[in-house]
Structure 1
């Protein structure tokens, strides 16, 4: 596999201090595509000219704006030399006509003065027409940067789908690993929630369970990345696809964290349901001794907009072992501002002794906001749970891990289905 080699000894045709480079920098800053194209086509030394946009000696650049800490000697300055070419600039900006002009006049698509090839830059910016032109003129779709990154790894946005398709058409390696993280393009697609990309790669033979350097599979990447509510549907689609291609739902990384651990930490209830439906181990323990339920509880204070009680409820209804009763005080302290999470957990026990310490654990301002719930909870310090609750507990104990499948089939009102499945009611009794 060909790699981009560092070019430390190149002598630029257009040094950083030259009039051409100054004019080019100004045109780029102004985003003046016409002037940039004119300079690259008519003023550059050649179609394969080496252009120095910056250098490694800030003393040669009097106009450089330096941080005061640098001038005081309190912060070391790293001023990197940046070499490029007309082809790289045109590809990175999506200037298709300029790119075609340069290629027709002998610009070499695999001549790379900097860290990335023109093809890398076109794909990173999702410029499909530029990508196609470069490939037609012989750009190498398997060329790697010094970090082992191929153009396919840089197709990391929905807009880059057609770039990815073109790369594969020109025989890009769908299972190529990056050098540092050992990740494939499928890992990238999973991290970004790109269903169409993932489907494309799998159809071209991508390995569904390939592990990166941390033993993280694409499925595990998707579950860990499903953080934003707005994108969780995208990650759900990716995970459904990976599972349809027989991804291992119980793979674990170097910390023994499974996809279910990660989905639970993100309060991704639909992902949690999907993984459990396909056999995920609800009681898997990672190296820190945490179960998926423990991860969901830890995340609850920070994921209120995602209704973390739904994740906790789902895990309990699939047979998750409960928190040790003696540790419930800690749960109350951390989840006080998520009373529905507290309610779901509390109702999963037959009886827990409510103490004065519990009352002290809830901050006064939170108590006032959720006063009806906490008054009902603390009132149980002086009495047992209701008969109705005890019947619920007995039924749940009988159904065990099958609660989520048996309860909905019972010939009872839907409201009782919800009650048996720990649906929050904002009061306990």
Structure 2
């Protein structure tokens, strides 16, 4: 696997160098008509991930970019189903990374279906990253979101509906059980997301660790009126220390240590996570800078 990832990076770099040396002419940049194919054998090979059949059927750039029976691009099908070897072959044959045949590009589909290996492959070859981040957040895929952020996705850009990745993550908290939303929230904040609007805190009121991360992004704890009534009684009893500390700190001055943390984070901006790793700090202090969960608001 390490060799394959190295080879993918080498090929991606070679393609980039080639495109810089020989930029396409204005004529070549025009959108060419795509071939359509309704052959069931093509459809079957793509949906089953039959690499040998795909190698036999897609042997040049035209075939790699044709529209298949489901009105979708071959690369989008392979990426959505997690067929990494098939996706790699199609890319090497010239499949367009960001083609939106049928609605969404290959990276969007791979993120929506949590196909992390295909996401990594597409990112290596330079697929565009912004809207896929919204998909990853909306599906509660923290690992994919961090991968996209690490490759340059913007944590603050809104999608077509005006929602930021943080908005999508907040709305996914209730819909994606058995995950750790605090990890995704911290990553988004580390990569430049703004603190959430106080009225949005109700979405994670029953996730105390996630709520703590979001409250620590403010210089002062905002009013709890929007979320306190939604906390389940049994959860309040289990995490009473945290919830009581949050209530007691509403509109109260925070510690100088916390304000210093926010000042440093503001200075680092969207580079906070990478910069923190390079700062000569003890591990505990570095974790504190990156909004480590402590179990109470101080």
TM-score (norm 1): 0.56
Equivalent in the alignment of 1:270: 143
**Cα distance 1:416–1:152, how it changes in 2: closer, same or farther (>3 A)?**
farther
Superposed counterparts of 1:270-309, under 5 Å:
270-309=143-182
Q: 2:284 aligns with which of 394, 415, 418?
A: 415
Deviations 1:210-262 (A, max 9, x none): 11232x11111111121xxxxxxxx2221221122222224xxxxxxx11111
Distance 2:226 2:194 in 1: 24
Distance 2:222 2:101 in 1: 46
Contact 2:139 2:172 in 1 (8 A): yes
**Helix, strand or coil at the partner of 2:173:** helix
Superposed counterparts of 1:64-75, under 5 Å:
none
Equivalent in the alignment of 1:161: 51
Count the aligned residue pairs. 264
Contact 1:182 1:212 in 2 (8 A): yes
Contact 2:205 2:228 in 1 (8 A): no
Distance 1:405 1:162 in 2: 41
Q: 2:98 aligns with which of 200, 209, 214?
A: 209
User: Alpha carbon RMSD of aligned pairs, Å?
Assistant: 2.6
Deviations 1:140-196 (A, max 9, x none): xx994xxx46533333566633332343469992222136x6311111011111111
**Helix, strand or coil at the partner of 2:266:** helix
Distance 2:222 2:61 in 1: 66
Equivalent in the alignment of 1:40: none
1:245 aligns with 2:133: no
Distance 1:407 1:191 in 2: 34
Equivalent in the alignment of 2:108: 220
Equivalent in the alignment of 1:321: 194
**Cα distance 1:205–1:398, how it changes in 2: closer, same or farther (>3 A)?**
closer
**Cα distance 1:213–1:409, how it changes in 2: closer, same or farther (>3 A)?**
same
1:409 shift after superposition: 1.4
**Cα distance 1:182–1:390, how it changes in 2: closer, same or farther (>3 A)?**
same
Contact 2:205 2:227 in 1 (8 A): no
1:206 shift after superposition: 1.7
Distance 1:205 1:238 in 2: 16
Deviations 1:98-153 (A, max 9, x none): xxxxxxxxxxxxxxxxxxxxxxxxxxxxxxxxxxxxxxxxxxxx994xxx465333
Q: Which runs of 5+ in 2 are unaligned?
A: 1-34
**Cα distance 1:373–1:174, how it changes in 2: closer, same or farther (>3 A)?**
same
Superposed counterparts of 1:113-192, under 5 Å:
144=37, 148=38, 150-156=40-46, 160-168=50-58, 173-178=63-68, 182-192=71-81
Deviations 1:349-393 (A, max 9, x none): 111234456432322122123333212222324843223222211
1:334 shift after superposition: 2.1
**Cα distance 1:428–1:183, how it changes in 2: closer, same or farther (>3 A)?**
same
**Helix, strand or coil at the partner of 1:176:** coil
**Helix, strand or coil at the partner of 1:242:** helix
**Cα distance 1:339–1:222, how it changes in 2: closer, same or farther (>3 A)?**
same
Distance 1:357 1:172 in 2: 55
Distance 1:415 1:158 in 2: 48
Superposed counterparts of 1:10-21, under 5 Å:
none
Q: Which has the higher contact order (CA 8 A, sep 6+)?
A: 2
